[in-house]
Chains A and B, each alone.
Chain A
Amino acid sequence: MTALPTRKLEAYRYADIDALASVWSELAPAERVGIAAQQKLQQIWLPNGDEVEVRRVEMTLQTGAIARIFALNNAARYGRIELDVTMHDGADFALYGANIGGSNSTLEIVTTLRHIAPGATSRQTVRSVLGGKATGSFLGRIEVAREGQQTDAEQSVKAMLLDRGATANAKPELEIFADDVKCAHGATVGELDRNQLFYAAARGLGPVAARALLLEGFVAGLWDDIEGDDLGIAELAREALRKVAA
Chain B
Amino acid sequence: MLKIEDLHATVAGKPILNGLTLTVPTGEIHAIMGPNGAGKSTLAYVLGGRPGYEVTEGSVTFDGRDLFAMEPHERAAAGMFLGFQYPVEIPGVSYLQFLRESLNSQLRARGEKELSGAEFIRLSKDKAALLGMDAEMLKRPVNVGFSGGEKKRAEMVQMGIMDPKLAILDETDSGLDIDALKAVGAGINAIMRDPQKSVLLITHYQRLLDYVTPDQVHVLSKGRIVRSGGPELAHELEREGYAEAAA
Q: How far is the CB of A97 from chain B (nearest CB, A)?
A: 17
Q: Is the CB of B73 within 8 A of A217?
A: no
> Whole-angstrom distance between the alpha carbons of A201 and B82 in the complex?
10
Partner of A199 from the list B71, B88, B109 (CB cut-off 8 Å) is B88
Q: Is the CB of A203 within 8 A of B92?
A: no
Q: Is the CB of A204 within 8 A of B73?
A: yes
Residues of A217-232 whose CB lies within 8 A of B: 217-221
User: Which listed segment binds B: A18-26, A84-92, A206-214?
Assistant: A206-214
> Whole-angstrom distance between the alpha carbons of A38 and B101 in the complex?
44
Q: Is the CB of A218 within 8 A of B73?
A: no
Residues of B57-103 whose CB lies within 8 A of A: 71-73, 75-77, 82, 84, 87-88, 90-93, 97-99, 101-103
Interface 1/0s, chain A 46-83, versus B by CB < 8 A? 00000000000000000000000000000000000000
Residue of B nearest to A202 (CB): B82
Q: Is the CB of B93 within 8 A of A214?
A: yes
Q: Is A194 an interface residue (CB 8 A)?
A: yes
> Whole-angstrom distance between the alpha carbons of A205 and B72 in the complex?
9
Q: How far is the CB of A57 from chain B (nearest CB, A)?
A: 28
Q: Is the CB of B73 within 8 A of A205?
A: yes
Interface 1/0s, chain A 103-130, versus B by CB < 8 A? 0000000000000000000000000000
Interface size on A, residues (CB 8 A): 24
Q: Is the CB of A217 within 8 A of B105?
A: no
> Whole-angstrom distance between the alpha carbons of A214 and B90 in the complex?
7
Q: How far is the CB of B236 from chain A (nearest CB, A)?
A: 33
Q: How far is the CB of B150 from chain A (nearest CB, A)?
A: 16
Q: Is A2 an interface residue (CB 8 A)?
A: no
Given known pairs A199-B87, A213-B97, A217-B141, the reply for A204 and B92 (CB within 8 Å) is no
Q: Is the CB of B141 within 8 A of A202?
A: no
Q: Is the CB of A195 within 8 A of B93?
A: no
> Whole-angstrom distance between the alpha carbons of A204 and B97 in the complex?
13
Q: Is the CB of B92 within 8 A of A202?
A: no
Q: Is the CB of B93 within 8 A of A209?
A: no
Q: Is the CB of A204 within 8 A of B162?
A: yes
Given known pairs A214-B90, A217-B91, A220-B92, the reply for A198 and B102 (CB within 8 Å) is no
Q: Is A43 an interface residue (CB 8 A)?
A: no
Determine the chain A residues whose CB is within 8 A of the CB of B106 once the complex forms: 204
Partner of A196 from the list B51, B82, B88, B97 (CB cut-off 8 Å) is B88
Q: Is the CB of A194 within 8 A of B51?
A: yes
> Whole-angstrom distance between the alpha carbons of A123 and B142 in the complex?
27
Q: Is the CB of A202 within 8 A of B48?
A: yes
Q: Is A200 an interface residue (CB 8 A)?
A: yes
> Whole-angstrom distance between the alpha carbons of A150 and B98 in the complex?
42
Q: Is the CB of A200 within 8 A of B98?
A: yes
Determine the chain B residues whose CB is within 8 A of the CB of A217 once the complex forms: 90-93, 141
Q: Is the CB of B92 within 8 A of A205?
A: no
Q: How far is the CB of A195 from chain B (nearest CB, A)?
A: 5
> Whole-angstrom distance between the alpha carbons of A201 and B102 in the complex?
8
Determine the chain A residues whose CB is within 8 A of the CB of B84 once the complex forms: 199, 202
Residues of B156-180 whose CB lies within 8 A of A: 158, 162
Q: Is the CB of B72 within 8 A of A202?
A: yes
> Whole-angstrom distance between the alpha carbons of A196 and B87 in the complex?
9
Q: Is B49 an interface residue (CB 8 A)?
A: yes
> Whole-angstrom distance between the alpha carbons of A207 and B102 in the complex?
12
Interface 1/0s, chain B 190-233, versus A by CB < 8 A? 00000000000000000000000000000000000000000000
User: What would be 10 A-B contacts, judged by CB atoms less than 8 Å apart?
Assistant: A193-B88, A194-B51, A200-B102, A202-B72, A202-B84, A203-B76, A203-B98, A203-B158, A204-B102, A214-B90
A202-B49, A205-B105 are known contacts; what are 16 more A-B pairs with Cβ within 8 Å?
A194-B51, A198-B48, A198-B88, A201-B76, A202-B75, A203-B102, A204-B73, A204-B106, A205-B101, A207-B73, A209-B101, A213-B101, A214-B93, A216-B92, A217-B91, A220-B91
